[in-house]
Amino acid sequence: MTDLVSLFRNFIYRDLAFILGGSIVLLSTFYALRSCVGLSLPSLSVNQQLYFLFLFTVLAYVVGYTVQDFMALLPWKPTFTGYVFKPDCLWKCLYNRFTGSTWKEPSFAENTHGALRFAIRMNKFPEVPEPILRELDRIRSLKVFSMCVGGCSALSAFIWLAKVLCNRFAVVDWVPFGLLLAFGTASICLGWVKGLQEMQFYEALKAEDYAKKN
């Protein structure tokens, strides 16, 4: 039962983020195409609607995952979800303001592989209390959720911008563009804050000597 609850929690926090983010992109694309080229959906039977809903969910998952990871490959890595050792000044300032503490560069690793080895050791030891592991998992999940939904929202904002240009700068189209851009930017910023919290969490665990070797 515990494993089932853990699996469900991970799905809610992570996989659902890909579905939600991908849905935002797909729906924005559909509305933009409907306005610009007159795209519309044909009438469907109940069975066809269920089949379409299933395909839409799968496609949304793929789109959400692709957008997040692809944007992480860009030079400035807006949706990066890996280990961060030397964040930019902007992310440090946001972390300091959010947590009320000063960001400190982790001492337990000089590269990603070192941090990964530490994380693996830390998760293998029973000395780490379960509430601490749950809190760490929550931070990781919120990081992925924020990065995915934020990246997809930002992309959708530019899809709406194309719709604005197509409709010759219609005032009504600027509203979703502005909301999506603001929400996407805010979510990405929160994702970076959670990423830095994760690193400081590891540093605190190291200080408590939870992940020492046998």
Tokens of 138: 């929550």
pLDDT tens readout for residues 125-168: 567 777 887 888 889 889 999 999 999 999 999 999 888 888 77
3-state secondary structure of 81: coil
pLDDT in tens, 18-76: 999 999 999 999 888 887 766 666 777 878 888 989 999 999 999 999 999 999 999 88
Question: Cα angle at 142 between 139 and 145, to 5 degrees?
Answer: 155
Q: What is the average pLDDT score of the chain?
A: 83
Compute the distance between CA of residue 208 and CA of residue 128 in angstroms, rounded to an integer.
Answer: 10
Q: Are 83 and 116 in contact (CB under 8 A)?
A: yes
pLDDT at 214: 44
In the structure encoding, which two tokens stand for residue 2, read together? 């515990």
- How many Cβ atoms sit within 10 Å of the Cβ of residue 11? 12
Is the distance from CB of 122 to CB of 202 less than 8 angstroms?
A: yes
Which residues lie below 8 Å from residue 22, measured CB to CB, with a gap of 6+? 59, 60, 61, 62, 63, 64, 65, 67, 152
pTM here is: 0.86
Percent of the chain with pLDDT over 70: 77
Q: How does residue 202 score in pLDDT terms, banded at 50, 70 and 90?
A: confident
